[in-house]
Amino acid sequence: MPTLKSFRRWPLLLPLALLAGCNTVLMNPSGDIANQQGRLIVVSTVLMLIIIIPVIALTLFFAWRYRQSNKEADYSPDWDHSTQLELAIWAAPLLIIIALGAITWISTHTLDPYRPLSRLDAERPVPAEAKPLVVEVVALDWKWLFIYPEQGFATVNEMAAPVDRPITFKITASSVMNSFFIPALAGQIYAMPGMETKLHAVINKPGEFEGFSANYSGAGFSGMRFKFHGLSNGDFDQWVQKVKAGKDGELTREQYRKLEVPSEREPVRHYAAVAPDLYDAILNLCVDRNKMCMKEMMAIDADGGLGKPGAFNIATRQAWQADTLTNSPKRKYVTAMCTTEE
């Protein structure tokens, strides 16, 4: 029969019981990039514990050894220096800092999200003929839009990719900053309006994985989640056909403007077709055709801006390469001005 003493031990087992149901995706991912990042966390933690554990242990030892009631402990009030102790105190942390610095330098370049993949996993390099799957990601309020430019369709709150095929993500946002994060695939990367970030990754195991925003972005943030499917090549082809048979029609600029209106916990949507220039318009903040695209504004600014200064710069600018090769003189007139449509 359980005793009172055994009941007192049960609270100590409660944390283990709570952790037993946890799926530590970060430490057991299904993608090579996330796997490398997980090992980096483990190695860094172990290196730091080399100092932390001895310091904690010695703190407890000194507190017990030199307690007031211990009359056998040595008392040396005039002691103030030990060369051996100084070497131990400074050498060990210095070596660990050097090791952490070297690991950080190497991993920062190896795991750069903008760097194309060089391997599928620790044992397989990326085949020379492998063509990455391009996925254009748009963080909306509060949902995710995925555009597959090569396949010519788009989805909301669901995406898929073949196993062992490199993926190139191009990521932006419609309004506020978000963070694109699939823990099983790779680390998080920010999505910002008017800017494009990139992420290269690969999924090595089939399955259904969780994706979400890791940056608070307002009232609907908690429901800003999506499913990522790792599929075999055959299953991915079937998924593509399923999306292309979707009933949501074509995602035009007009449909997108309705989609970007803030909404919470949107269901999965499949758009059988998508406007080919939609992502570029979202990135340049000119989905509305009455607005000038950001890249056009920057081109005008590069020429000196609008008005007389800009017109003068365009008029006197050296001719392009074809004219330069013939040593033609500088133009003294404006040949063309871009319109918003162009």
Q: Per-residue DSSP letters for 199-265? A: EEE-B-S-EEEEEEE-S--STTGGG-EEEEEEE-HHHHHHHHHHHHT-TT-EE-HHHHHHHTS--SS
**DSSP string of 95-159, one letter each residue:** HHHHHHHHHHHHHHHHT-TTSPPSEEETTEEPPTT--PEEEEEEEETTEEEEEETTTTEEEESEE
Query: Residue 76 is encoded by which pair of tokens?
Result: 């040396």
Among 143, 195, 140, smallest CA distance to 171 is for 195
pLDDT at 307 over 80: no
Q: What is the CATH class of 124-283?
A: mainly beta
pLDDT at 336 over 60: no
Q: Which residue has the higher pLDDT, 214 or 335?
A: 214
pLDDT surpasses 80 at 150: yes
Residue 27: DSSP 8-state: G
Reported confidence tier of residue 325, pLDDT bands at 50, 70, 90? very low
Per residue in 67-76, pLDDT tens?
888 888 787 7
Q: Is the pTM of this model over 0.95?
A: no
Q: How far apart are CA 300 and CA 252, in angstroms?
A: 28
The band of 290, judged by pLDDT with boundaries at 50, 70 and 90, is confident
Calculate the average pLDDT of the chain: 84
Residues 73-114 have pLDDT tens digits of 787 777 778 888 888 888 888 999 999 999 989 998 999 999
**Whether 119 contacts 32, CB under 8 Å:** yes
Domain edges within the chain: 23-67+84-111, 124-283, 292-342
pLDDT value for 225: 94
> What's the pLDDT tens digit per position in 234-289?
999 999 999 999 888 899 999 999 999 999 999 999 999 999 999 999 999 999 88
